A and B are shown apart, each in its own frame.
Chain A
Amino acid sequence: MAFAVFTWFFDRVCVNGPGFCFTKPWLPFKAKNGAYFVATTGLTSSKSFWQSRRFRDAMVAYAFILPWVIGFILFVGGPIVASFVLSFFRWKMIAPPRFYGLTHYISMVTTDELFRTSIWVTFKFVLISVPIGQVLALGLALLLNQRVLLLGFWRSAFYLPAVVSGVAGSVIWVWMYHVELGIVNNGLALMGLEGRNWLFDRELVLGSLIVKSLWNIGIPMVIYLAALQGLPQQLYEAADIDGAGEGSKFLSITLPMLSPAIFFNVVMGIIAAVQTFAEPYVMTGGGPDNATLFLGLHLYQNAFHYLKMGYASAMAWIMFLLIFGLTVFQFGLAGRWVYYEGGTR
């Protein structure tokens, strides 16, 4: 039914223009001469602007992107503005919002020590987990690119964790890190090493979460692998003729040719890592001693435990600025190290 309505609407817009569609909706949608496609293809300047193909095509296009526009206004653009405005108000859902000026932003740096902790935790996590993850993903992709037997098996093994949810993955890793019954400590015991309290030692816990995050590098790995498989072999042959060693080939051919993929993965990795939420929520609850109080977790607790909607909005903007800053920083650096074949992009 909805299908038919949609079709009818599009046909009318295509053929008769939106003006006709709205002023005489009772008319059948075919053009007066009966051959509506003639009207759409054989346009001359004698037609009015409203009937011109360009205008109608534009209208059709807007109709196609209408869902996104509506969604953007309702669920993205509108909320962004609302969130920005809200960050200057104090609002705990019970009483009406009260204007608070910059107080939220000021108290972040002056009184809310947990906020500073959460920024620092998030920053450390991003700065460590993203580079290590990318090196690991690239390393695995290089291994897989050696024309190994059973490529599908190895690739699946490394990719599989990427389809496991944050919650289920975290639950599995809580069990891995279990002090007495976990496989990590028992494996260490088999090797004669002493186990540690991975999730309850404030010195170790962030490292434990970083290790867990390294388990989920399937997507960047597959991107690197695809990029490696697409590398032009002539370059390596030319380098062979010149007597280049493996190391210099890697540094002067592979890495530059992969740099767009590296850039893409680093940017996407940063965006995802800054928003880390399920892992600390499930594995540590932000503890011990707030050592894993990620920005996302602190924000969630302020918004939905203490109902500080205004303060949470302000923090969300800081999170956005963090992502934005790191991304812009990456784009700024990109000019120095990212190589696009053909020069322009």
Chain B
Amino acid sequence: MVAGNETVSTAEGLGGRTLSRPSRLRTLLLGNRFQAGMVRMLLVYALLFFAAFLFLLPFYWMVNTALKPSNQVFTLPPTWIPKPAMWSNFLTAFTIQYETDPPVYNYALNTVIISVNGVIATIFSSALVAYAFARLEFPGKNVIFLGILSTLMIPFAVVMVPQFIIWRYLNWLDTLWPLMIPHWFGSAWNIFLLRQFFMTIPSEYDEAAYLDGASRWHIFIRIILPLSKPALAAVAVFAFVFFWNDFLGPLIILSTPENFTLTLFLANFNVAYRGTPWHLYMAAALIIILPCLILFFFSQNAFLKGITVTDLKG
């Protein structure tokens, strides 16, 4: 990695030789001289360590507390490493039932239902719409696409009250339907993302299939979707994280604990338990974020792809 700088150091003052360097070795802040490069890399690593330390500190503090025996939670100064580590806290946090409240796995079940529905709905509907914008010609295409993009600017608060009134009118408040149905109609951001990806698929595939008599629908299902697995995976992981973490939607719709999602449970934890058993609170928080963390570690590429697939070049 750093070794390339030695050639750089000899190249000092010889402008012509800089061209012979492998271009990848040339980066933004790297020094021209070996020593300066070393100092710079040390500085880079020091800053990285410091930043990573700060970014991971909250996770450490959560895990540390989650593993503490209850009698250590309120000791001062706090213990920095829990001894003994109480792995049973997780089980307690997950199965504890306070008075008439449902057990935690009930919240988890609701969250899973909403998230799975949300992922499937988002992928299917967004891909459908994105396909039309990537491949088909129709009057008003650009205007409608601009309209889709401009809905990104509309805050949820604007549509929140009328949507609430619709659900109330349908008598669907305090059910999971309002948190499931609206996502079957495409989401602006994912339509945009998938359209960008579909446009990178060579259109020769479609045309060949079209000449063989396949309909647009078949082309979409049999050719475009299978070729778009990376983009669909990216949409899926982002949709999952979004629905798993959604808070305001469930907050305004759901009112009885039986229907609560995990985020609502977590937000109401203090109230439900009167006073805060922080070790259980942190254990619950950890359990709740765990699916997203695991998903992130197993599909990092999908996450990174999802963020950068649009490439900002429109």
Which residues of A are interface residues toward B (Cβ below 8 A)? 6-7, 10-11, 14-15, 35-37, 40-41, 54, 57-58, 60-62, 64-65, 67-68, 70-72, 74-76, 78-80, 82-83, 86, 140, 142-149, 152-154, 156-161, 163-169, 171-173, 175-176, 180-181, 183, 186, 189, 215, 219, 222-223, 226-228, 230, 233-234, 236-237, 240-241, 243, 246, 249-250, 254, 260-261, 264, 271, 274-275, 277-278, 281-282, 296, 299-300, 303-304, 309, 312-313, 315-317, 319-320, 323-324, 327, 345
Contacts and interface: CB of A to CB of B under 8 A. Distances in A.
Given A57-B138, A143-B44, A67 B185 contact: yes
Contacts of B300: 152, 156
B168 to A, nearest CB: 8
Contacts of B148: 68
B94 interface: no
A163 B293 contact: yes
A184 to B, nearest CB: 9
A148 B45 contact: yes
Given A64-B132, A166-B247, A303-B161, A233 B26 contact: yes
Contacts of A222: 303-304, 307-308
B7 to A, nearest CB: 13
A75 B125 CA distance: 15
B288 A168 contact: yes
Given A68-B191, A72-B185, A140-B51, A240 B156 contact: no
B128 A82 contact: no
Contacts of A86: 161-162
Contact of A161 (B40, B55, B154): B55
Task: Report whether over half of chain A's contact residues are helix, strand or loop; otherwise say mixed.
Answer: helix
Contacts of B47: 143
Contacts of B85: none
Contact of B269 (A75, A165, A171, A189): A171
B27 interface: yes
A301 to B, nearest CB: 12
A250 B30 CA distance: 11
Given A79-B158, A79-B163, A143-B44, A226 B184 contact: no
B138 A10 contact: no
What bracket does the count of chain B residues touching chain A fall in?
35 or more
Given A80-B154, A316-B161, 13 more contacts: A7-B217, A41-B210, A61-B132, A67-B128, A72-B185, A83-B162, A164-B245, A165-B263, A222-B307, A223-B308, A233-B26, A300-B252, A309-B161
A160 B61 contact: no
A324 B62 CA distance: 38
Given A71-B184, A223-B308, A275 B156 contact: yes
A338 B124 CA distance: 35
Interface stretch (B17-25, B97-105, B225-233): B17-25
Contacts of B15: 240-241, 243
B57 interface: yes
B1 A147 contact: yes
A243 B215 CA distance: 59
Given A64-B136, A68-B191, A175-B65, A163 B48 contact: no
A288 to B, nearest CB: 17
Contact of A236 (B1, B26, B139): B26
Contacts of B25: 147
Pick the 10 closest A-B CB pairs, nearest first: A71-B185, A165-B245, A37-B213, A10-B217, A79-B162, A64-B132, A61-B136, A61-B138, A79-B159, A82-B162
Nearest to B77: A186
B155 interface: yes
